[in-house]
Each structure stands twice: as structure tokens, then as C-alpha cells.
A and B are shown apart, each in its own frame.
Chain A
Amino acid sequence: MNGAVSDLTVWIVIVALAIGTFLIRWSFLGALGDRDLPAWALRMLRYTPVAVLPALVAPLVMWPEAAGGEPDPARLSAAAATLVVGVLTRNVILAILAGGSTLFGLLYVLG
């Protein structure tokens, strides 16, 4: 490790992150066991993937760092193509291919 950050610091960060991340992942699965979650919680949790993953990528789609943090027509179109093809075909692979080809096609055309 160069600069002011020591090897020890890096390892402390690695071990702390590893333990903390594991505990986050284990939290409900491990602590709750086979006990039932309340009905309202189950109702909300059904929407975990469709809320978390789009919210995670939304800022990356709107303000991509690679385009200087400005909205970028190629990336916006690629995201739209991925969603539309994914919703219509219910096929993950086709959706990825649609998004990827839209992105590279438009980046090539728009230079």
C-alpha cells in the first residue's frame, strides 16, 4: 500500500466490511428462523426486487458518470429498450441483448 494508508488499515477495512456485510445478509434469514413475519411485512417484501434494483440503477441511468453526469440519449434509450423488451417477452436474456445492442448501436451512430 502506498501513501498514508497502511496495510493494516486496509485489512481492518476488509475484515470489518466482511463481517458487517455478512451480518446484514444473515440478519432476517438467520435471526428470524422459521417464525412468520407479520402479514403487512410480507406484503411489502413481495415488492423488494422491483423497488430496490430499479431505484439502485435509476441515478446511474439518468446521470451516468461516463457521460460526465449529464443525461445521455444512448444510455436512456438502452435502459428503455431493456425494460420494454423485458416486460413484453419476460425473457431476461432478450432484454439484456436489446439493451446492449441499443447502447452500442447508438454510441456508434451518435459517435
Chain B
Amino acid sequence: MDCTSCKQCCRECSENESVMAPSPVPSPPHQRPAADDPAADEPAVVRALARTPRQAFAHGIVQSLPFMIVIVPFALLFGVVAVEAGMDLAQVMGFSVLVLAGASQFTAVQLLSDQAPALIVILSGLAVNLRMAMYSASLVPWLRGATGGQRLLIAYALIDQSYALSIQHYERHPRLSLPQRLGYFAGTAVAVCVPWMIASWLGATVGRAISDDIALDFAMPITFLAMIAPMLRTPAHLGACFVAVLAALLLAGLPSGLGLLIAAPIGMATGAMLEVWAERRQGAT
């Protein structure tokens, strides 16, 4: 990435922002944990800060419920596909309970039914999941003080949806306490992972009854885009998103998962560079 393209996309971003957000929220260019929250008197913020960990857990569950629309059909489909590929119920549940990672489960079943060698299946599945190392790293500053046991449980349930919901909540309410953050994560994890397991089981046992012609393939893109769109609140976020998408499209020909592992860090670096640049400009004026 050269600098000219960054500046260019930043200019585009700031133009977009001024068009789309006539009354910009006075949020800082980025929010660190425990940073001062400029919107502290907003009712949603006050409510979030007042929740007990148990209420934060319930809130996490409630906010995850819409994602059942995606999770349940996907998991049903996984059950059906895996049984069609010749797996028994125990193996289907082995995937959905022990691995608990949708995209890599589909990848592995697909490769197994193509008679690919076990090592290739394992490496491909892990490549698809490598993005989760980035999730793990980005949660570190938010979960300072969590015990080893809590970290084990979070790692087990760290899937796209629980991560995206939680990080969005943490960034929106930077002053949450650790128990509130843990409670919220636990709520999203339960609400997303348990239906995944149950629906996989249903798909493997009942299966077949699902119609092929609903455009299910697009449920995941829509929900992922819906989850990140509200986070695109600064030129740096827009730039990171734009560059990552561009790189992912250019690298789409690479084997599964590999393009993403190059494209995502390029996008993240772009965001960081734009942030530095914006801070310098602010400092100069």
C-alpha cells in the first residue's frame, strides 16, 4: 500500500462522512478501554453502565437473538450436508461442539467428501480459522484482569458473531467494568453457540426438510456487514474496511483463508496509519 492511495481513500471517506452524518457524534477518532466516554449521559450508555453482570448476560442474549435467523439455518444445513457426506450423528456433533467454527466445519466436510488427505483437511480448516487469532489479540486490552479459566471459556466460544457483538458493545461503552464485559460476552456466546449445536443435531437427524431455494448463501454476508456497518464511524475505520475489501478481492484467487490473512492486516495497518495521520493533523491545527 502506498501513501497516495491511503490519502485518497481517506479523502473519500471524509467526504462520505460529511454527506451521511449531518450531525456527527462527538466520538474520538478511536476509543481505548477506560478512555473518557464523550457520550456518557446518553440513556443507552447510562443503562449499560448500570447493569449487574447478570443483567449484562441477559442483555447479551437479547442482542444476539436476531442472529438466530442466520445461525439456525446454517447449522441445520451443516447437519444435512455432513450426513449426506456419510458422517454419523456423533461425528456431526463432534464438529459442532468441539470445533464450533462454522466456515471451517463446512470446509472440512467438503474436503473429506472429496477424499482429501486428513492433513490437508486439517490444515485447510485451521487456515480458515486463523482470523480468530486476530480476534483474540484485539480482545486482550478489553479483558484485562480476567482469570485463566475465564480466558479458556472465552477462547472456546470466540466465534465471529460473539466476537463482533461483544467488541461492538465494548467500543460503544468503553467504561463497562470487567464483570459487565464478561457477562455480555457470555450472553452472546450462549445465545449463538447453543443454537448452533442444537440445530446441527436437528439437521443431522431431521434434515432434508429444508428448502434449497431460499437464498441462504447470503445470510452470512448480510449479517456480517450489518454488524460492522455501525462501527464505521471514523475515516480510519472506513479506510481500513475499504482497503481490506479491495485487497481481499484482488487476492480472492489464493487458497481458502490465505487471501484474508494478507488482506486483513493490510486493512488494519491502513486504519492505524490514517489514525496517526489524523492525530498529527489535529495536533498541527
Residues of A within 8 A of B (CB): 1-5, 7, 9-18, 20-22, 24-30, 32, 34, 36-37, 40-66, 74-75, 78-79, 82-93, 95-96, 99-100, 103-104, 107
Q: A14-B94, A29-B136, A60-B220 are in contact. Are A95 and B99 (CB under 8 A)?
A: no
Residue B66 contacts which of A83, A85, A89, A93 (CB distance < 8 angstroms)?
A93
Given pairs A24-B133, A42-B141, 9 additional interface contacts (CB within 8 A): A13-B125, A17-B101, A21-B100, A24-B126, A45-B134, A45-B137, A58-B249, A87-B229, A92-B168
Docked complex Cα distance between A93 and B154 (Å)? 25
Count how many chain B residues have C-beta atoms less than 8 Å from C-beta atoms of the other chain: 97
A54→B168 CA distance, assembly (Å): 15
Q: Do A45 and B268 form a contact, CB below 8 Å, given A50-B241, A66-B217? A: yes
The answer to whether A82 touches B226 (Cβ under 8 A) is yes
* SS of B interface (majority): helix
**Can you offer 13 A-B residue contacts whose CB atoms are under 8 A?**
A10-B87, A12-B122, A14-B98, A29-B143, A44-B269, A49-B167, A50-B241, A51-B266, A56-B260, A57-B220, A57-B225, A58-B248, A83-B229
Q: Does A51 lie within 8 Å of B249, measured CB to CB?
A: no
Residue pair B244, A55 in contact (C-beta under 8 Å)? yes
- Cβ of A34 and Cβ of B144 under 8 Å apart? yes
Assess the B156–A47 pair: CB atoms within 8 A: no
In the assembled complex, how far is the CB of residue B57 from the closest CB belonging to chain A, in whole angstroms?
19
Task: Determine the residue in chain B with the shortest Cβ distance to A30.
Answer: B151
The answer to whether B52 has its CB under 8 Å from any CB of chain A is no
Q: Is the CB of B112 within 8 A of A5?
A: yes
A88 to B168, CA, bound (A): 16
User: C-beta contact mask, B11-42 vs A, less than 8 Å → 1, else 0?
Assistant: 00000000011000000001010000000000
- List residues of chain B with CB under 8 Å of any chain A CB: 20-21, 30, 32, 66, 69, 86-88, 91, 94-95, 98-101, 104, 108, 112-113, 115, 118, 121-122, 125-126, 129-141, 143-146, 148, 151-152, 154-156, 158, 160, 163-164, 167-168, 215, 217-218, 220-233, 236-237, 240-241, 243-245, 247-249, 252, 259-260, 263-272, 275-276
Determine how close the nearest CB of chain A comes to the CB of B241; give it in whole angstroms: 5
State how many angstroms separate the Cβ of A41 from the closest Cβ of chain B: 7
In whole angstroms, how far apart are the Cα atoms of A19 and B133 in the complex?
14
Residues of B within 8 A of A103 (CB): 215, 218, 222
Q: Which residues of A contact B122 (CB under 8 A)?
A: 12-13, 16-17, 20
